[in-house]
Amino acid sequence: MAGSGDKVTLLAEWPSLYVHRVQIALELKGVSYEYLEQEVWVNKSELLLKYNPVHKKVPVLIHKGRPICESTIILQYIDEVWAGIGPSILPSDPYERAVARFWAGYVDEKWFPSSTKIMKAKTEEEKAEAVEQSLTGLNLLEEAYEKSSKGKPFFGGDNVGYLDIVFGSALCWEKTIEKISGIKLIDETKFPLLAAWAQRFSAITIVKELTPETNKLVEFWKELQAIRNANTSGN
């Protein structure tokens, strides 16, 4: 556990999958932290602007009064600072660590953005294209899981690792996308390995306790779209 001189604060927003992954890592490591909910869409707090003046977004981990920004960087920081406490997050093997970072980048830069386009699509053609891109990405991730897991329960092997946390944190939004669009993405008939992995990951006690409810995320998405539409119409 973090000592009194090692105060840890997390600037967060409850719907954020990027916040979710940092929370999972902190909980897995057994690190005590203060959670501070932030307003990031309308009026950003002075605290957020102070500690993340560049991107002005969450999550921000504040440790010993110093901020660390960007979720994947925060995960690596947590793993290094609290090394030897709880399970390791990143693989010890340099090649496996590089592979995990590569696919984590793919999830954040390619797969998740293409999946969210399903909800944003204004025409059936746009929606169909976004679905195809998402499914293509899942096919690649299915292959990556088979190679990385080597027959074990998680991308990280026997225990949850870096890629499990990065990809797994998006599952709550994957379910939200499915509910809004009516399209099943991680289908057990198309992606049996990923579907089984997703069930195992989602069943972990820490993950279940931290995962926002799908209906609540659907309502958040509707409210967010209303804010965006209002801002667009006002320009």
**SS3 (DSSP) at 217:** helix
Nearest CA-CA partner of 150 in 216, 96, 105, 114: 96
167 within 8 A of 141, measured Cβ to Cβ? yes
Quickly list H helices, 87-211: 94-106, 112-120, 124-149, 162-168, 171-181, 192-203, 205-210
**How far does CA 16 lie from the centroid of its chain?**
7
pLDDT at 2: 44
Selecting from 3.40.30.10, 3.10.20.70, 3.40.50.620, 3.30.930.10, what CATH number does the domain 8-81 have?
A: 3.40.30.10
Q: Around Cβ 111, how many Cβ atoms within 10 Å?
A: 23
Q: pLDDT tens digit string along 113-139?
A: 999 999 999 999 999 999 999 999 999
Q: Is domain 94-216 given the CATH code 1.10.1060.10 in the classification?
A: no
Strand pairing report for 8-12 and 60-63: antiparallel
pLDDT at 48: 95
Cα gap 59→47, rounded to integer Å: 12
- Residue 212 is given by DSSP the state P
Length of the chain: 235
133 within 8 A of 143, measured Cβ to Cβ? no
Q: pLDDT tens digit string along 172-231?
A: 999 999 999 999 999 999 999 999 999 999 999 999 999 999 999 999 999 988 887 777
Q: Enter the tokens of residue 200.
A: 């195992």
pLDDT at 5: 57
DSSP per residue, 75-91: HHHHHHHTTTSSS-SS-
* Domain residue ranges of the chain, discontinuous segments joined by +: 8-81, 94-216
Beta bridge partners of 34: 9
Q: pLDDT tens digit string along 11-70?
A: 999 999 999 999 999 999 999 999 999 988 778 899 999 999 999 999 999 999 999 999
